[in-house]
Every structure is written in structure tokens, then in C-alpha cells.
Amino acid sequence: MEGRSKILVYGFSVEEQRRIDDGLALLGAPPALKVRPGQGGVVLRRILAGEGPAAGEPGTPPAAGQPAALERLVLFHNVTDAGVQALLRFFREAVGSRPIFAVTTPTSIGWTLGRLLAHLVEERAALEKGR
């Protein structure tokens, strides 16, 4: 998979993001990339590379391509399995209610944030329905 290890977060409050940043710093992990709602139509590969329009800038896709504002996502990119396990514990303690956790794949890295989040919400609903 391309690039260095990164953690991408979406949908967290300012206070939650502060707790995330503080906790990651204590763990010696790099700060999380904070994705803005206006980036829902940007391909993950571009977001992870620090590219793509900021919210409200020309080129920001219309609202139809935007992810659900109420969903929270933690996306791990090029993080080892052991690193993901440790970070899952950290995030569960730091933010309380459970966000959607995911890891990039060769397929999903080519998707937009909105498409990925819609897919993950569908998967979660199917899992919850099957319980």
C-alpha cells in the first residue's frame, strides 16, 4: 500500500479531536489527519497525500457526494496489525461512543470518502441486522 502510516479521522467534535491529538502525542503516534465534510467527494488516496479541495473551495463536490455528517470514522492507512489493535483501544477510551473503524485496502483507497463511509454504514447495518 502507498505511503507512510497515517490515521484519518472524520466527524469528531473539536473536543474529541483535542483528546485524540493529545492521546496520540502521548503514544508517540503522528497526529491524525482531520477530514472536513467538504472533502466527501475527494478520493482517499488524495486526502491521505494531503491533496484535494478544502471545504468550500472551488472543486468541492456537491452535497450529494458528501458523507453523512453524523457518522464518525477512524481510518487506518499502512498501520501494522499490532498498531491497529493498540490504537483501537486508545480510540475507544478517548472518544467514548463507538466510531466506525476501518483500514484502507487496495480497492478502498481509490474510493471517495463519501463512498467509503456509505459502504461502511451499510456493512454495519447488515451486521447489526444479522445479530
User: Domain map of the chain by residue range?
Assistant: 6-129
| pTM to 2 decimal places | 0.83
Report which residue type is found at 70: L
HSE, side-chain direction, 13 A CA sphere, residue 31: 8
Q: Where are the alpha helices (DSSP H) in 1-131?
A: 14-27, 44-48, 81-95, 113-129
Q: How many CB atoms lie within 10 A of CB 79?
A: 19
At CA 15, angle to CA 9 and CA 16, rounded to 5?
Answer: 35
Residues 123 and 51 sit within 8 Å (Cβ to Cβ): no
For 76-119, write each residue's pLDDT tens digit: 999 999 999 999 989 988 887 789 999 999 999 999 999 999 99
For 15-62, write each residue's pLDDT tens digit: 999 999 999 999 888 899 999 878 889 999 999 998 865 444 434 443
